[in-house]
Amino acid sequence: MNSITKGLMFIVGLIFCMVLFSGVAFAARPLTTDDAWTVEKGTFQVETGFDFTRQDNHDKELSPSLTFTYGLFERMDIGVGSAYLFINPAEGEKENGFADTELKIKYRLLDDKDWVPAFAISGLLKIPTASESKGLGSGKTDFGINTIFTKNLSKRWALHLNLGYTFIGEHGVRNEFNYSLAGQFAFSDTWSLVGEIGGVNNFNGHKSDDPFSGLFGIQYMLSDLFILDAGVEIGMNKAAPDFRLTLGLTFLFKP
């Protein structure tokens, strides 16, 4: 099955879910697509995750992660996150160590009203805390800008669109255009189905090394403050990982 066929099948599945399910939802784990909403002022959001990834060459990676986000103002939040990497290559020695650290700030400019979607913009700074000698990172700083659109199409489902650009600090590596589309479908007060498609374009004229993938997942609300999630991401071309399994817990609290 080629990448075009996989992509078409995934998109058809996503559209089917949209038709089948019809609460207002916010993008969150296991999605990587961001939503236009911000964490409530004075509130902390903590996201914990555990990912298992297998690359096309059968390299394997385990990565527990932790992200803190704080509602700084009514329309602005700031966050910091990182992970610990366990690399198990098909050939060569195993490696482990801290991943790069990401700092993010997001500001919501527009709320969802009538036919106008909510709109936010975020900035992401990647600090090179991962070991370059171990092959865990580039050792260089990257900076990204992301535009975020969220539209609640009914009381039961919502769409999120991200369009971003990343300035790569590593010498000789092209900057990247990032895009993703995600949907969330609340089929009960506690369960939601989520899905997304997304990819990266590095502007080198070769589509074969532009990763493109899709994800299906679920969210379970233990309460208004605790959400469990699980998802599986499938690569649709050789530039993307074969698959990624992810489990996580998100919770919010006020000090």
Q: Where are the domains of the chain?
A: 3-248
Determine if the pTM surpasses 0.95: no
CA 45 to CA 226: how far, in whole Å? 10
- The band of 27, judged by pLDDT with boundaries at 50, 70 and 90, is low
- pLDDT tens by residue, 183-227: 999 989 899 999 999 999 988 877 788 999 999 999 999 998 999
CA distances in angstroms from 79 to 14, 24, 64, 67, 186, listed in the order given = 30, 24, 17, 7, 26
CA 16 to CA 23: how far, in whole Å? 18
CA 210 to CA 250: how far, in whole Å? 30
Which phi-psi region, left, alpha or beta, contains residue 238 (left: φ > 0; alpha: ψ -120 to 50)? alpha
What's residue 182's pLDDT? 97
* CATH no. of 3-248: 2.40.160.40
- pLDDT tens by residue, 82-108: 999 999 999 989 999 999 999 999 999
| Contact call for residues 141 and 169 (beta carbons, < 8 A) | yes
Q: CA-CA-CA-CA torsion for 101, 198, 227, 53, nearest 10 degrees?
A: -60
Amino acid at 141: T
CA 37 to CA 23: how far, in whole Å? 15
Mean pLDDT, residues 115-131: 97
